[in-house]
Amino acid sequence: MATVELTKENFDRTVSDNPFVLIDFWAGWCRPCLQFAPVYEKASEANPDLLFAKVDTEAQQELAGAFQISSIPTLMIVRDQVAIFAQPGALPEAALTDLIAQARALDMDEVRAKIASDRPGGAGAEQGGSGTPEA
């Protein structure tokens, strides 16, 4: 499956409508981003059941800012509308494949329970929330 271009106009709907979304924050002038692109595209072809998306940080500065993207490429994985991974750096193919397998294996009920316990008033309130930006 080809990657989908995300914008501030379609981001929320796309993430809400798809249970598993990988997002590549990139820019055309970024050499590591350009080197990561074929690895990302190959992974999208190998995982047609997942949605692979891209955010051009130059064209979508407001969206990149909302997620505090300061280094690119940054890969984010969102499952069931929860950001479960966000890290800068161009991953080699084997590492991306392993990361996708780990993300697939996550028990999202456990993740949601952890998020609930991390909220103020819950056990572990010193931790953050879902990792998604506050609106």
Residues labelled as active-site residues: 30, 33
- Calculate the alpha carbon distances from 114 to 56, 68, 82, 125 in Å: 31, 23, 12, 10
CA terminus-to-terminus distance, the chain: 31
Query: Rounded to the nearest 10 degrees, what angle do helices 93-105 and 31-46 cross at?
Result: 50
The enclosing H or E element of 37 equals helix 31-46
One-letter identity of residue 135: A
Give the β-pairing of 74-79 and 20-26: antiparallel
